[in-house]
Structure 1
Amino acid sequence: MVERTSLAVRDLAVHFEMEQGTVRALEGVSFDLHAGRTLGIVGESGCGKSVTARSILRIVDRPGRIVGGQALLDPGTAEEADLIAMDPESRRMRGIRGGRIGLIFQEPMTALSVHYTVGNQIIEAVRAHNDLSKAAARDRAIELLREVGIPRPELRIDAYPFQLSGGLRQRVGIAMALAGDPDIVIADEPTTALDVTTQAQVLDLLRRLQREKNIALMLITHDMGVIAEMCDEVAVMYLGRVVEYAPVADLFTTSRHPYTRALLRAVPSILATPRQRLATIGGAVPHPGARPSGCAFHPRCSDFMPGRCDAASPAPLRPGEAGASCFLEAQP
């Protein structure tokens, strides 16, 4: 059975014009989101994961601007629409943002306004995408709080964010993302700053909601354990590019890019010898404004081939095809 493609991102490029020069935050990012499936976006901080999410929703902060690419909603159908070509402040785009595509922000401690009750904030989101009275919107907000597992939603709806734990605030954030009944949800590190028990509860909640509503889920994280538990396919990003794309099982058993293998080696193991030093990736992610020549990963790569990796960039991956953007792919 072929899954319906809900969103197709093609060659997305985002630049930030700074006083020091142009920062190329994204360079040719491509992937597909399928209904009822989860695509994981993984990589170190600074690799462009959150910029990708914000670009799709057309909320990139200035001085950032989208300089190329497409984000096709319902590709291949009569309703196909390119989000990149739309005016970000148009009524249609505002309807899609929150209506068709929901966003779960990465920091539950700061994503909610401290000046309003959680009910007021959810009701505002509900009424923005539904023609409902205040009373009906309040009933819908209570229903959403109940859906995401908040106990006594009739009372919690009048609570302020500071009166809730981090886990409950994250559930409120998920409820707000679902207020417009979207068929695509982007979860930007939804378990950040949560303890492991609460993390597990939030992930179980996302999995249940996806199953019940057939949501296409884009899960941004730096946690390979979350990737293993939640995702169907994985896109590994490094310095604004997708360097490997694979089904999740293949990524963990036969990863093909040196960066992916380095990420996996850095994951702590319960089978490791006690007091053994954890593996690390040498160096750091370069500043996007000082991108190395050739393959961006070559200064940190254990498989670096002088005269090749530093002379040209590997070919980008074709959307939806498993593989790695690496010269090792062409080796016999």
Structure 2
Amino acid sequence: MLQTPMADHAAPAVALAVRDLAVQFRSEQGVVRALDGVSFDLHAGRTLGIVGESGCGKSVTARSILRLIDHPGIITGGRMVLDPSTPREIDLASLDPESRQMREVRGGRIGLIFQEPMTALSVHYTVGNQLIEAVRQHHSVSVAEARNRATELLRDVGIPRPETRIDAYPFELSGGLRQRVGIAMALAGDPDIVIADEPTTALDVTTQAQILSLLRGLQEAKNISLMLITHDMGVIAEMADEVTVMYLGRVVEVAPVRQLFAAPRHPYTRALLHAVPSILARPRQRLSTIGGAVPHPGSRPFGCSFHPRCAERVGAVCMERIPDPVPPGQAGASCFRTEVPA
């Protein structure tokens, strides 16, 4: 059974343990290491925030867990264990993506809220048809019973007049309503875990707040373990219990949310927080930025991946060596700055 050490012995059981997950995309142009040894724990009934810039591997991590990596991507190493250290333990990395057991997990044990609901929902079928199919995929019920369940799901996610909206097509709904339908789809199989991949990216500020409030309420009502993927530190502050910070396919810091904001240990985490606009800033003051851009995973820099953009690098060591990873199940930072005095 997988060992899951925890710094906080009062923490709830681990619902999902990811260990040393590695994903590569192989083509004629070479091999791209999209994920390079990613490890983290998602605790039962709690929210894990995964944060980082675009291109850091957040969505690839989500799709890997559900075995939805598109060709030519393959999982080359690591484990993704549901219910670790229990008789129900399942290593998702060992399952055939097309197997019956994986299909039961995908949508049944783990639900996914996609980043863009307009592309996640088919424009050729009504909302009801798609929800009914999702319900019947994981429950042995009649079409009429599945339609009733679909109507209840639409009501649960706050869609007005669900009895009539169930027959609407996705293009007839606003962005906020489509996202609510996406949440209902993720809940159709009564999952224990929900992965929300940038669930508020395409929405206005007011609708974002409503969606986050909805997710929090559903999590509390159904005791769902929520993995929230985002680039928005404000969303992390409001929603997360623990935070995993990713950069270029690696985990660079893990911490409880209060600790992360009070005393971030990795320079990349500090740079992300400094880039958040402040209401205390002077008028017309320039926003802080992180110099450069996330390198392409196919052309990683030597040593620490962040060192070309890091204002706090520790001499040549950052350019020559890769810092040790954060120990699984523990808080910490993968950085020489935490080992060498300033």
- TM-score bucket (shorter structure): over 0.9
Deviations 1:113-146 (A, max 9, x none): 1000000000010000000100000000000000
Which residue, 198, 204, 210 being the options, matches 1:189?
198
Residue deviations 1:57-99 (CA, integer Å, cap 9, x gap): 0000111000000000110001101000001100010000000
Equivalent positions of 1:18-33 (< 5 A) are: 18-33=27-42
Contact residue 314 and residue 337 of structure 2 kept, 8 A:
no
- Which amino acid in structure 1 is aligned with residue 295 of structure 2? P
Matched with 1:281 is: 290
Q: How far apart are the structure 1 equivalents of 2:258 and 2:18?
A: 23
Aligned amino acid, residue 197 of structure 1: T
Please, what is the CA RMSD of the aligned residues? 0.7
Letter matched to residue 56 of structure 2: C
1:65 paired with 2:74, answer yes
Separation in 2 of the partners of 1:284 and 1:275? 24
1:9 is aligned to 18
Alignment of 1:228-307 (within 5 A): 228-307=237-316
Mapped to 2, the partners of 1:67 and 1:221 lie a distance apart of: 25
Partner of 2:220: 211
Q: Matched residues in 1 for 2:127 and 2:307: separation?
A: 47
Q: 2:161 aligns with which of 152, 157, 160?
A: 152
1:10-38 CA-to-partner distances (Å, cap 9, x unmatched) read 00000000222110000010011111100
**Is this contact kept in 1: 2:17–2:82, CA < 8 A?**
yes
Aligned residues: 332
Where do residues 8-157 of structure 1 align in structure 2 (5 Å cutoff)? Answer: 8-157=17-166
- The residue aligned with 2:324 is 315
Gaps of 5+ in 2: 1-9
Deviations 1:216-242 (A, max 9, x none): 100000000000000000000000000
- TM-superposed CA distance for 1:305, in Å, is 2.4
Aligned-partner Cα distance in 2 for 1:313–1:224: 26
Amino acid at match of 2:287: L
Equivalences for 1:141-180 in 2 at 5 Å? 141-180=150-189
For the 8 Å contact 2:22–2:35, the answer to whether it is kept is yes
Q: Residues of 1 paired with 2:177 and 2:157: CA distance?
A: 9
Is contact 2:237–2:257 with CA below 8 Å preserved after alignment? yes
| Structure-1-length-normalised TM-score | 0.99
Distance 1:246 1:46 in 2: 21
